[in-house]
Amino acid sequence: MERLDSIERKTKTVIDLVSFVDRQFAGTVSTLTPESIFEPDRQIKNISQDSRKIEKDDLFIALQGEKFHGLDFIEDVLSRQPAAIISDKPLVSETNKLIAKVSEPPLIVVIEQVAEHLGDLASWFYNRPSQTIKVVGITGTNGKTSSAFFTAQLLESFNQKVALIGTLGNGPLNNLQATANTTPSAIDVQRLLSDFLQQGYEWVVMEVSSHALTLGRIQAVEFCTVALTQVTRDHIDFHGSEESYRESKAKLFTDYKTKNRVINLADQLGRQIYDEREGESQYWGYSSANSDQAELKILASELTLDGIEAKVENNTETANLSLPLMGAFNTENVLCAMSILLVNGFAWNRVCIACKQLLPVSGRMQILHKLRQADPTVIIDFAHTPDALLQVLQAIRGHLNSTTGKLIVVFGCGGNRDQGKRPIMAGIAEKLADKVVITSDNPRFENPMTIIDEIKQGLLNPSQVITEVDRTAAISETLNNSNSEDVILIAGKGHEDYQEIKGVKQPYSDIGVVNEWFSRND
């Protein structure tokens, strides 16, 4: 496949916006500034909901935020000379007086339901980029970050130009830019797709969170392929129930246009979606078990200290893979990535060869390089849910079952999040690890000791567990009291370079703490 040349984005004018509003919101527009007041041919440069990001000739979307409405900042917005303003509520008379004083008055449009159609608006403004660039959407509780990362690596092995949108950041693999959310806002998603298209990218691999599916952040995105990793308990604080959470995940496969649907048949929701398949999309099932339904499956696998040895079958073709990855669950993530390429027509043999060069995701079963033979083995992992912690601990046991050392886990739970998982994670850690150290994660606005006490409620023998509220101290003391045969899992934060305490993200890194300890003790 040839790379796309860079594409220049066609700009929109104010009169173009008027025409779009007339078509898209016919009968629901309550106010539209008369054409005699604004400049019809004025070009609109950008679009944003954030008043602080508005510049001259931009389109400002004024909506209700957590505490304020966009119109609360209208005086500042007008001073920035936007080309147009769309609000979901009418402007007060005082605002109209401010507008009358502006040398280049903006177009003002009031549409009550505009918040529900931000994706449509942004897609139109950015010239519907997902109709040209190939977008892969991956959802699931665990595994979507690794699956997206592996998919991008495999595509790059075929000399495809690929960008990521997700937990690790936005952009190419070698230059990811930090992001606040796994899936950005509806406007930012379309802007990113447009930017990537203009820069000549052929593919965008996007993690799709349950929040994004519920809040409409991927509205108007047309996918080339959507994929499911697996669905377990998570984000109950936001969704209210496991059923609601599962329903949000299923939306990616029922509510969005796509050519291909890649499904994990080892997952309950995946089997349901696969069994109820309909429409013209191509369904592709994969499974880490020897499933009769799966197009791609594992026939046999073995965990070693070097990674995973697996025999895989693609319909009637088989291959032996040596994957330089830790964790049995990574087998599923690799199968997901392979399936995405195979369903899009990439060659089986070349996909298998590329799999042997896959690199692990930073902070996902990442083994840190120790400087002395006497140091313990340290693994950093993002696991912050009961199922993820269970899988990681089981995975380490599987790889290191011949060791005579101890398996030690250091973990905590985030504040202002699902409290129900705290004792569950404690029980899992106590059952599968030889030694448990409970510490802080991101306490946010909660008392760290209160979180630790709630975690400890899930322990059978709390007196055998070490607690240390300071995460740096907890890790350092664990390292001090370990030997070369021990394996230490530090779970919960992975690649994160901050610790959120009382609303402030303070610089912090599990990887940095361990590497500093290694250097200090060299």
Sign for the pseudo-dihedral over CA of 202, 205, 210, 211 = negative
Interatomic CA distance for residues 247 and 214, integer angstroms? 9
What are the domain boundaries of the chain? Answer: 12-123, 128-355, 366-520
How many C-alpha atoms does 83 have within 13 Å on its Cβ side?
22
Q: Are 367 and 449 in contact (CB under 8 A)?
A: no
The candidate with the shortest Cα–Cα distance to 78, out of 64, 91, 65, is 91
Same fold yes or no, 12-123 and 128-355: no
Classify domain 12-123 at the CATH class level. alpha beta
Side chain identity at 353, as an amino acid letter?
Answer: I
Interatomic CA distance for residues 424 and 95, integer angstroms? 53
pLDDT at 402: 60
pLDDT at 66: 82
The domain covering 366-520 belongs, at the CATH homologous superfamily level, to Mur ligase, C-terminal domain (3.90.190.20)
β-strand pairing of 47-48 with 435-438 = unpaired
DSSP class of residue 72 equals G
Interatomic CA distance for residues 261 and 482, integer angstroms? 46
pLDDT at 7: 58
- Quickly tell me which residue has 């001090």 as its tokens: 480
The alpha carbon of 256 is separated from its chain's Cα centroid by a whole number of angstroms, namely: 18
Range 290-294, long-range pairs (CB < 8 A, 24+ positions): 291/265, 291/266, 293/265, 294/265
Q: Phi then psi for 234, rounded to 5 degrees?
A: -175, 155
pLDDT averaged over consecutive 10-residue blocks of the chain (522 residues)? Answer: 53 95 88 87 96 96 92 93 94 79 90 93 97 96 92 98 95 91 91 96 94 89 95 60 79 91 93 86 90 92 84 94 88 97 97 94 85 90 93 87 82 95 98 97 97 98 98 98 92 94 96 96 82
Interatomic CA distance for residues 492 and 173, integer angstroms? 23
Other beta carbons within 10 angstroms of residue 443's beta carbon come to: 23
Classify domain 128-355 at the CATH class level. alpha beta
Interatomic CA distance for residues 61 and 50, integer angstroms? 8
DSSP class of residue 175 equals G
The alpha carbon of 501 is separated from its chain's Cα centroid by a whole number of angstroms, namely: 22
The alpha carbon of 143 is separated from its chain's Cα centroid by a whole number of angstroms, namely: 10
pLDDT at 4: 44
In three-state form (DSSP H/G/I as H, E/B as E, the rest C), the secondary structure along 228-275 is ECCCCCCCHHHHCCHHHHHHHHHHHHHCCCEEEEEEECCCHHHHHHHH
Q: What is the pTM of this model?
A: 0.80
pLDDT at 500: 97
pLDDT at 261: 96
